[in-house]
Amino acid sequence: MTHRKITSEDLYKIKTPADPRISPDGSRTVFTVSSIIEKTHSYQSHLHVINRHSQAEEQWTFGENKNHSPRWSPGGKLVFVSDRSGVSQLYLMKASGGEGRQLTFSSHGASNPLWIDDEQLLFLTYFQEDDSYEHPKRKAEQPAPLEVTQIRYKSDRDGFIRDRKSRLYHLNVKTGETREWVSCEGDAESPSVSDDQLAYIHTPPEIPGKGLVSDVHIKNVKTGTDKNITAGRGIFSKPQFSPDGRCLAFFGHEKGYKSATLQKLWLYDTENEMLQCLTGEWDMYAGDAAVSDSLYGAVSPAIQWTADSKGFYMVVTDRGSTGVYYGSIEGLMYPVRMETEHVNGFVMHPSEHWGVLSISTPISPSELFEADFQTGEMVQLTRLNKPWLEGASISAPQPLETEAEDGWSIHGWLMKPAVMEEGKKYPMILQIHGGPHMMYANTYFHEFQVLASQGYAILYVNPRGSHGYGQDFVNLNRGDYGGSDYKDLMSAVDAALEDFSFIDRERLGVTGGSYGGFMTNWIVGHTNRFKAAVTQRSISNWLSFYGVSDIGTFFTEWEVGGTMPEDAMKLWDHSPLKYADEIDTPLLILHSEKDYRCPIEQAEQLYIVLERKGKNVKFIRFPDQNHELSRSGHPLLRVERLNAITAWFNEHV
């Protein structure tokens, strides 16, 4: 039987359901479906609604634009965000569907709607200094210099910030009147409301030597009093009041292990003004730490409170999977669904213990499922990706575990070529994830399936530094980049060659992005066992990274263990560029020109040095793209990237 190969262009066929929201009466679930418009090579997102009783599905928005962030009001109205006017604004739709009515008219756009009641909304907008919702600054007709007065003046997401601040605004739906609810230095976002209490995240300007801070504030909107309940000690996100307003739950940590600190769940008692880390003794990551290249439009969920305010549900990361846990305000935690899969979004009915989950597996992009956590029953609600997956050669990975040199267990997967012949040997590609404090998972990875369809085995593992295996494990590679983490990867390669006799040990390739790009550069400077390598959005020189990355100062200090200029020699010792003379592996360098996380000068330095030395190297630059090229970049360039990777390995491995 002939099976169709998965190709780079199949990226255009992937549909991603996300951000499910259950109606107040529990009868319907609204969600978004994101995909790529083939004729325009652009992204689109639309609202769909599923009837719980009939399971009939309807599409509620249309056109070549992005409609997302649907939110039901207590009375069943639906607000959502759309860019149909050219700028993202809020729109209101009746409970029965129909044409949306525009609610906001900010030249800066509006996002993240939150209902207070049936007539009041909060939303997020962006301003510059001395700007306002009603009287925006006129855009300069001529180019103007950028005056830089603080460390954080650019970001990979936003480019040059130019005093751009996020602000929370209140909207009266009937009158259209708007007013600012929070005035502060820095950014205000992620609101939660209970009666007169407003909780939000405040991110002040970066303080030299301290790195990023994001605090949880509670403001009384009547009296104006504003309290910082986390006191500048860490990085926090997604505050959510309990239905009775007694507790505020949120994610975060106090940087005990700097950027390698496990994210925990925190609880604040608003009556007694007491803060506690509810999962302080829990050696797991609260939230989703999995990486994927096929989740455009996905929304990472906050915790979901139960109606009685005594418990909640949340996503938890563990050993290559993510699942749903139930927790109580007393600190009891237990899994209600923890399978070999990637739960990347969910919503719970607050009183009936059932919910809608967005789940991806290694052989399927995300689909929606209804889960009853009392009976354990699961019902699949969508089959958006079934048509293009039918008849395709999909490779299901096998778990792999090996022991590191110092005794730590290294967990990962081996994906066989999609189609194999008995007795034939096949090349293998080692894939290395970014972060490094992220995790490969039991999720769909389009790049892996494309390479498997080309006849490659794919080895992907979670070396030390990865999330999902406890605090000690994730902290192991800080200050040791290129040390034991490199040995972990080589141990995994050795284990794969030992366990799978069909792998041709003379035909090995390696690739990775961000930290994975750093490690690819490091590997080819320290061994010649790989026939070819592709380094993506990589780091080659920590000395320059310190001053050019949007996270350069604190990331270099926290992760590599050095600062400039005091520790210049240490940073150079950990820089792959130092070992360029040893690189004999054919190397393809892929980098985006507007990457401010790992700026393109990192690729330029590496390419020029290798080219000058007569090495086998090629450099491909992707215009107008940032660090997220492989996940949310221009569709044509995402395909070009995949084809370039495939072509390089086909030529050299």
Neighbour tally for 183: CB within 10 Å: 10
Element (H, E) at 516: helix 515-524
CA 445 and chain centroid, separation: 14
* Structure tokens given for 15: 């549909």
* 8 Å CB contact between 30 and 72: yes
Which stretches of 340-413 are DSSP H helices?
A: 386-389
Q: Is 378 helix (H, G, I), strand (E, B) or coil?
A: strand
Q: 87-92 contacts: CB < 8 A, separation 24 or more?
A: 90/121, 90/123, 90/171, 91/67, 92/173
* Structure tokens given for 488: 């972990």
* 8 Å CB contact between 442 and 320: yes
- 233 burial (CB, 10 Å; 0-12 / 13-18 / 19+) is middle
Neighbour tally for 331: CB within 10 Å: 15
Q: Which residues are catalytic?
A: 514, 627
DSSP 584: -
Element (H, E) at 324: strand 321-328
Phi, psi of 453 (to 5 degrees): -70, -20
Q: Name, in order, each residue with C-beta under 8 angstroms of 587's C-beta and a sequence gap of 6 or more.
A: 524, 532, 533, 534, 535, 610, 615, 616, 617, 618
d(CA 135, CA 349): 41
One-letter identity of residue 649? F
* 8 Å CB contact between 257 and 471: yes
Neighbour tally for 483: CB within 10 Å: 14
Q: For the chain, how long is the longest CA-to-CA vector?
A: 77
* 8 Å CB contact between 291 and 435: yes
Which stretches of 424-514 are DSSP H helices?
A: 446-453, 471-475, 484-499
Q: Name, in order, each residue with C-beta under 8 angstroms of 23's C-beta and a sequence gap of 6 or more.
A: 29, 30, 72, 76, 95
d(CA 389, CA 439): 25
d(CA 304, CA 242): 9
